[in-house]
């Protein structure tokens, strides 16, 4: 199978290569794709070296599958061109997510909805993926009514420029700024640009994408915060259900949810942290406790590697579904 990774030199693109290898995805030939600036450089994958090419070159290379992680403007222009050639596109940008004609897929939740004609498939926002995996497990039993979520998001979600900013700040080096303020020793209550309603794009992604993936009736109110952590997003979540629950049943449902690991033992100080989520493909949940101020309400804490399940892993899992459904012939 010929697989293109678009944006291969970026943070998510490089993790996609790792995940493809770890999952033993049947790549017979890799087509690494990046900007003109990176074209001609070499990428190593599965013991072979491949030359980075541009999108203009790649589109005529008889590709079976393209994993896009190169930004919304690139996806807007090039995903339809690839799809018109019969190439399946899994897009990690935000451009296609809320398109009514495109599926927004978390395989453990709605992977069964994929059809052979879905040539452009949207990968949800990193913060959304870890939230909806937990909500989905509980919504089926107790019906989620309202969610209040505060995120603590890694600088790796912004990209290499943000990582460089924090590392330089820690060394006392003045350099190009990814954020409007210093990030080291700081928390910035802004992820992405502000909208007319004074919420950021990131906050509204959590609201709108949750509705599309899980249930349009679920109300989500979000505050997204950038924190000086190099890998892993965390979320403090308050969930109001229509129906009452028992904590043991909550934990049992989460333990049974594919892709979720419960880490919840306060007696041994066991709870999820971004430090221990790095490099892992699962979503971790802990600090599970009843909200004693509100009926049918629950507090919990969710952590995941935003470059893994929040991006690259979920994209490769979607690609695996395309194989399992025989939409792509791997022979």
Concatenated DSSP letters of 19-75: HHHHTT---SEEEEE--TTTTT-EEEETTEEEE-B-HHHHTTS--SEEEE-S-HHHH
CA distance from start to end of the chain: 7
Pairing of strands 283-290, 297-304: antiparallel
Q: Could you give the percent of the chain with pLDDT greater than 70?
A: 99
Please give the C-alpha separations between residue 88 and each of 5, 34, 203, 215, in angstroms, as whole numbers: 12, 18, 29, 26
Active-site annotation holds for 233: yes
Helix orientation angle between 201-213 and 126-142, rounded to the nearest 10 degrees: 40
Pairing of strands 65-68, 88-91: parallel
Q: Average pLDDT, stretch 159-164?
A: 96
Residue 76 to residue 97: CA distance in whole angstroms: 11
Catalytic one of 126, 139, 187, 216: 126
Any bridge partners for residue 222, and if so which? 149
Q: What is the pLDDT of residue 331?
A: 54
Is pTM beyond 0.85 here? yes
pLDDT value at position 113? 98
CA dist., res. 276 & res. 273, Å (int): 6
Digit-coded pLDDT (tens) for 17-54: 999 999 999 999 999 999 999 999 999 999 999 999 99
Among residues 87, 130, 101, 98, the alpha carbon closest in space to that of 314 is found at 130
Q: Are 263 and 134 in contact (CB under 8 A)?
A: no
139 is catalytic: no
pLDDT confidence of residue 152: 98
The pLDDT-based confidence of 174 (bands split at 50, 70, 90) is very high
| Residue 57 pLDDT > 60 | yes
Distance CA 68, CA 89 (A): 7
pLDDT at 195 over 70: yes
Domains of the chain: 2-124+311-324 (3.40.50.720), 127-306 (3.30.360.10)
Question: What is the residue-averaged pLDDT of the chain?
Answer: 97
- State the catalytic residue, choosing from 187, 191, 216, 233: 233
pLDDT attached to residue 322: 97
pLDDT at 299: 98
210 vs 309: CA distance, rounded Å: 16
What is residue 329's predicted lDDT score, i.e. its pLDDT? 73
């Amino acid at each position: 199978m010929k697989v293109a990774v678009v944006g291969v030199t970026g943070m998510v693109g490089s993790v996609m290569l790792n995940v493809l290898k770890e999952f033993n995805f049947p790549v017979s030939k890799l087509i690494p794709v990046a900007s003109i600036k990176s074209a001609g450089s070499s990428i190593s994958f599965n013991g072979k070296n491949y030359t980075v090419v541009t999108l203009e070159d790649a589109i005529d290379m008889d590709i079976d599958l393209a994993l896009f992680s190169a930004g919304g403007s690139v996806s807007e222009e090039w995903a339809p061109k690839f799809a018109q050639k019969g190439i399946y596109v899994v897009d990690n940008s935000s451009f296609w997510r809320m398109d009514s004609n495109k599926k927004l897929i978390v395989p453990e939740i709605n992977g069964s909805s994929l059809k052979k004609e879905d040539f452009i498939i949207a990968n949800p926002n990193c913060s959304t993926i870890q939230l909806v995996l937990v909500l989905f497990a509980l919504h089926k039993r107790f019906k989620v009514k309202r969610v209040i979520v505060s995120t603590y998001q890694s600088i790796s979600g912004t990209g290499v420029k943000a990582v460089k900013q924090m590392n330089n700040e820690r060394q006392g080096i003045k350099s190009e700024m990814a954020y409007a303020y210093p990030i080291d020793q700081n928390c910035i209550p802004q992820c992405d640009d502000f909208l007319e309603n004074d919420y950021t794009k990131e906050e509204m992604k959590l609201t709108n994408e949750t509705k599309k993936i899980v249930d349009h009736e679920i109300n989500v109110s979000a505050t997204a915060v950038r924190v000086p952590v190099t890998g892993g997003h965390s979320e403090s979540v308050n969930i109001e259900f229509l129906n009452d629950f028992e904590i043991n049943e909550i934990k049992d449902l989460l333990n049974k949810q594919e892709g979720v690991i419960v880490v919840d033992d306060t007696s041994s100080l066991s709870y999820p942290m971004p430090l221990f989520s790095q490099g892992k493909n699962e979503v971790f949940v802990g600090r599970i406790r009843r909200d004693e101020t509100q009926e049918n309400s629950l507090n919990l804490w969710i952590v995941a590697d935003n470059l893994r399940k929040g991006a690259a892993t979920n994209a490769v899992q979607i690609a695996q579904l395309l194989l399992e459904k025989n939409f792509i012939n791997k022979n």
